[in-house]
Amino acid sequence: MTKYILFASLMLLLFAGTECKKEPPVVPPDNPTDTTSSNFVLLRIDTLGGPFSTAQCVDIVDENNIWVGGSFSTAYSDSTGNLDSSFNVAHWDGSQWNYLRILMAGQPGWTGGHPGPAALQAIKVFDENHIIALSQYSSLAVWNGTDWHTEYIDSNAIHQMFARSPNEVYFVGQQGVVARWNGSSLEKMNSGTKVRLLDVWGDEKWIFATGEPLSGDDPSETAFTAYTSAWEVYNEYNLLDTNSRSLNQYVGGMRSVYRKSENSKLWLLGSSIVDNQVKQALYEISSLSPFRANLFFVVNQPIDALRVRGNSDNDLFIPGIISGQFYHFNGKRWSFIVPSLSFFVTYGFSVKGDIVVSVGDADAIGAKAIVVISKR
């Protein structure tokens, strides 16, 4: 494929130095680890594209090198008002946003038309010669510094990807679908489950995937599966069978998984019964076989937690879907950080060092894509 197509820069809204609001800290069980700062300030809020644009994912190389994937309309293509939605990447170079285009492989046998490249829902940038992208139509694109290689992954929706390296990328999706890119070809894998897999993460040795029912799915299934030499399901059970579980114990719901390295703790964003209510909660998985998940933190604020990510075990983040808000754990206590932004729905979140970026769009008809950048 030819080089990226760059379009016009955006008018940027600068909110430098604005304090992020904090609610009183919530103290988890005893944790003796060193602390990290929870003092985040809002650097900027930018809008990308024109009406009906959306940002779905983000990857941070550094403060002046941020990649956002989605679908960005930048102009009206004709007098009838048809939108030109021909860009699916926006790149921040430290001074402006540049729009880029990645054309993706389509589903074999599909003849429907599309006005431009498919929206992206995951992107990973290793360097200028190694970029991995996943489209909303379950297609993979790999940039090698010269051109794009693109393949169709599966007829089931692929929800998330984890890239250990440019030559080892894992994809998970509906019906327990797992696939791996080895640098030259795509391989289908047997995950051992049919549960819809929503998140995937890994360390030097393990790859972990989590699944839970979404709207329209069987609400009685959920799964935690892991891979070293083969995929194995370590936990799959009936979510509604709570007779054998007492209050404040793990009851299911597996939305996200994270571990910094093989020697770090393994974290699971799931659910717990607290005060006779099912609430989202963060667990430390102490054992895979038998599967044991120890309740670490209950998400008390009225947010819908998106996933768990971090820099280390004493620098964890749980972003919410609304308003760009997130929880931060500094090793001893949790702080609830709320940038001053309403009507914002978060679809993607990334943290690297002291930089935190949330992306999504405004909760309104014809809204534009939004990027919220905070810094410690």
Q: Which two tokens stand for residue 228?
A: 């070293």
Q: d(Cα 41, Cα 63) in Å, to the nearest integer?
A: 14
Q: What is the pLDDT of residue 226?
A: 94
Residues ≥6 apart with Cβ < 8 Å to 120: 56, 57, 69, 70, 71, 88, 89, 102, 133, 134, 135, 136
Closest Cα to residue 185, out of 208, 209, 168? 168
pTM of the model: 0.85
Say if CB 234 and CB 250 are below 8 A apart.
no
Task: Name 121's bridge partners.
Answer: none
144-201 pLDDT per residue, tens: 999 999 999 998 899 999 999 999 999 999 999 999 999 999 999 999 988 889 999 9
Between the alpha carbon of residue 154 and those of residues 7, 143, 167, 191, the distances in Å are 32, 20, 19, 14
| Residues 6+ away with beta carbon under 8 Å from 275 | 247
Outline where 218-314 has alpha helix (H): none
Please report, in tens digits, the pLDDT of each residue of the chain (376 residues total): 333 333 223 222 222 333 344 443 444 444 445 578 999 999 999 999 888 899 999 999 999 999 999 999 876 545 555 656 589 999 999 999 999 999 887 766 554 544 458 899 999 999 999 999 999 889 999 999 999 999 999 988 999 999 999 999 999 999 999 999 999 999 999 999 888 899 999 999 999 999 876 655 555 567 889 999 999 988 765 433 444 444 445 556 789 999 999 999 999 998 877 777 778 889 999 888 888 888 899 998 778 899 999 999 999 999 999 888 999 999 999 999 987 677 889 999 999 999 999 999 987 767 889 999 999 9
Q: Prior bond to 25 cis, omega within 30? A: no
pLDDT of residue 216: 59
Contacts of 112 (CB under 8 A, 6+ apart): none
The CATH code of domain 12-109+118-375 reads: 2.130.10.10
Structure tokens at 12: 């940027």
Could you give phi then psi for residue 7, rounded to 5 degrees? -115, -165
Q: Where are the domains of the chain?
A: 12-109+118-375
Cα dihedral 304, 203, 132, 192 sign: negative
13, β-bridge pairs: 45
Beta carbons of 84 and 99 less than 8 angstroms apart:
no
- Look at residue 244 in the predicted model and tell me its pLDDT: 45
pLDDT in the model for residue 85 = 59
